[in-house]
Amino acid sequence: MAVQRPTTSRRVTALDVAREAGVSRATVGFVLNDTPNQTISEGTRERVFRAAELLGYRPNSAARALASGRSRIILLVLPDWPAEYRLRDYLDEVSLVLDKAGYSLVTYTRQPSQSARPLWESLNADLVIGTASFSAPDVASMLACGVRAIHPDPDHPYRPDVSLAFSAGPELQVEHLHERGHRRLVYAAFTEPYASSMVVARHAAANERARALGLPDLDLRRIDYREGAPQQVVREWLDAGITGVVAFNDDVAAAVVGTAVRAGLTLPADLAVIGHDDSPIAAMFVPSLSTVRIDTAALGRQFGEFVLHRVDGRPLPTPRVSAKPVLVARETS
């Protein structure tokens, strides 16, 4: 198929459509935007639609944003590139829900370098979403750039129920190890570059469940995987009487399990490990990793609805279904 180039290099505007349809340019806007309180005859509507289709009209988003004061862009600031396996399905669903409501989701990871201008300066987002509270300078910068809403709301306390912590996951991890008879647990995560705020939130969720089960709090242990096999960390745990490791994700679980195997330990007899995500690596690893699978698609849909509530004032669907995570017990627990 040959690429259809416009004969004139000029882009098609609403005025072109109006001329083609024989109406005013305002009418074109009313029809195409389905503006309420405008009664347009069916014949006119038809003609406008046909003309727009014929000419391949796409509204200029910059002009629309300038005139309406809304860009219909939602910016999601991620703590890290979405390397997490399940995050993909999650973001796909969020994106889909927003798209249906006429919004576009843009994901964005801050550069480590200070010099780079944050994306909200050039994007004119209606709403900026973070996975943790934004710093005061960030909030000030967003407001100066015309961002209309920020989540988490800087004026209100942080609402962890809509974060990416997926607290049901860590809770199930703890429950599982508890059921298997483990009482002394530790929470393991990597040091940078992994998402700090998500680590903190999931660790907190694990601790909450541990307390409810009458277990002592889980220490948060950050491992630098770049320093090679962290043999001594595992030794320390054994010396301290730890028998179960709750890992932030499957990569962390793999690091711990790999180290333990090389140290000659038998899993889960000497040490039980449970990951999070059920990423491909969990099944491939030798021994295969016990883990927890989150219905991220359902949570993504739910978060999408929440975002529309924030940006459009739509009512939140109630009752909100809390998607239950699934335990995937394999060889490490």
Q: Are 108 and 138 in contact (CB under 8 A)?
A: no
- Phi first, then psi: what are they for 101, rounded to 5°? -95, 10
- Residues in 6-45 at the binding interface with DNA, rule: CB under 7 A: 10-11, 13-15, 23-27, 29-30, 32-33, 35, 38-41, 43-44
Does residue 156 touch DNA according to CB under 7 A? no
Q: Are 268 and 287 in contact (CB under 8 A)?
A: no
3-state helix, strand, coil in the chain (%, to 5): 45, 15, 45
- Residues in 50-69 at the binding interface with a second copy, rule: CB under 8 A: 56-58, 60-63, 65-66
* Segment interacting with a second copy (CB under 8 A) among 40-48, 76-84, 214-222, 305-313: 76-84
- Residues in 310-329 at the binding interface with a second copy, rule: CB under 8 A: none
Does residue 259 touch a second copy according to CB under 8 A? yes
Dihedral angle, C-alpha 156, 160, 164, 166, nearest 10 °? -170
- Residues in 58-77 at the binding interface with DNA, rule: CB under 7 A: 59-60, 63-64, 66-69
Give the residue with the Cβ less far from DNA, 67 or 321.
67
Partner from a second copy, DNA, none contacting 122, C-beta within 5 to 8 A by type: a second copy
Binding mask 222-241 for a second copy (x = CB under 8 A): ---xx-xx------------
Quick one: 68 exposed, middle or buried, by C-beta within 10 A (0-12, 13-18, 19+)? exposed
C-alpha triplet 147, 148, 152: angle, nearest 5°: 90
Least CB distance to a second copy at residue 126 (A): 11
- Residues in 115-134 at the binding interface with a second copy, rule: CB under 8 A: 115-117, 119, 121-124
Does residue 103 touch DNA according to CB under 7 A? no
Quick one: 282 exposed, middle or buried, by C-beta within 10 A (0-12, 13-18, 19+)? buried
